[in-house]
Amino acid sequence: MKAYITFSSNSRIENDEKLKSFIQNSEGDFTTILLDENVCVVIKPLKKASYEQVRNIAGSIARDLRKRKIETALLEGAVLESGLSELNKGEAARAFIEGWELGSYQFLTYKSDAKASKTELEWVGCEDIQSFIVEGKIRAQAVSLSRDLMNEIPSKLNPETYPDVLSSAFKDTAAKVTVYRKAQLEAMEMNGVLEVCKGSKYEPAFVEISYCGDDTKPLVALVGKGVTFDTGGISLKSGRDISDMKMDMGGSAAVAGAMKLIVESKAKVNVVALIPIVENMPDRDSLIPSEVIRYKNGLNVQVGNTDAEGRLILADGLIRAGELKAKYIVDIATLTGAIGNALGSKLAGVFGNEDLSDVMKKIGAENGDHVWPMPLVDAYDSYLKSDYADFNNISAKGEAGSITAGLFLRRFVPKTAQWLHIDMAAVAQSSGDSGYYTKAATGFGARLLADFTKKISE
């Protein structure tokens, strides 16, 4: 069965007052009707139409038609252009296919009675915007990679298997994947990674994914937290169900998705992804509170709480970015619950260079990965004071948790680099189907990091 996508401005609808009234009074941004014996999806007029609105509507339509077991939906280029006349036709098509593909996303690996299904979108009369449609598909595939990584269970995605998954994802591409295992990490003095993973049955790893589309461009380093499961370690988490701690590698998934988007779009950038990978488990060999980690850059950190482990491994990533002489460094992590208290579940926080934060905010407003600039308050730096080490990995006060985490990381940023830190803890997963988001992993950050890398490389 085939469905046809149109807008309420369609002359057949405009000339039928009853039908027009029925559509206008239906809930949502669109309604599905039977018109002249054809299934039609009618999109209502959009107030201040935006590409994010287009993505959300497309995702919702794709999911709705799949539930109705519609095999194909047809969208004409002229219909799209007329219905979204205030938007650029090509960019609107890119947003539509991106939202469609992401709204169709399913993770059914462990659903024994479920079969993957999808309503295919057929474009008609769109020869002039094919490149936009292709780009939209690439963007959706990159975000889907991030979602797949985040949704996977820790027995399948752990410090020993994750590097292989990443190597496979970039096989036969222009990207180079380098994997460092435990013995190499010891030689490289990545002591944060080594210490955090001591309690796990898996050995830690560190993955570098490099891509150079233009060697005249400045090196951008994307550092992603890769904690494949976080129990809290000896500072054990409590809660009825902490299954979502398998998503504590969301930062690394964002970085992997960003690299996929950059590579597949053949971007003219010079970029490296740095991914420290650990599992934070309690065990007789685990890192314990009061221990001191000596980092390669000479800093000594008291471990006040083993559940503040993300910053301990990101520190190694930041040091590595300095060794590679990156001009721009962006780290991203599901780092603190405090960021959700500050910004809620629709925005990630971005800390660091104020000018770059503003650039990232604008990019996120356009592509859907929304961020809000947050301050690094120097007066709070003293909260990290340690009695016997250079500083502590947690604050001595129960306030400004996301800020003090950023202040901790700032101490490891090379002075020659411009740096941003993204705390995505509150936006890593969706509580239900909405727009082009499906319940579980959002894939946040893939588009944000890729678009940011392209922008600062112009």
Query: Tokens at residue 75, please?
Result: 């969208």
- Phi first, then psi, for residue 133 (nearest 5°) are -65, -45
Instruction: Report angle CA 138, 142, 144 to the nearest 5 degrees.
Output: 115
Are 333 and 224 contacting, i.e. CB atoms less than 8 angstroms apart?
yes
Q: Which of 68, 111, 201, 237 is catalytic?
A: 237
The per-residue DSSP string of 222-246 comes to EEE-EEEEE--TTS----S--GGGG
| 237 flagged as catalytic | yes
| 346 flagged as catalytic | no
Residue type, 449: L
Task: List strand residue ranges (DSSP E) for 306-384, in order.
Answer: 328-333, 348-352, 371-373
Q: End-to-end CA distance of the chain, in Å?
A: 46
Q: Which of 311, 320, 447, 454 is catalytic?
A: 311
C-alpha span between 334 and 245 (Å, rounded): 10
C-alpha span between 392 and 402 (Å, rounded): 15
- Residues involved in catalysis: 237, 311
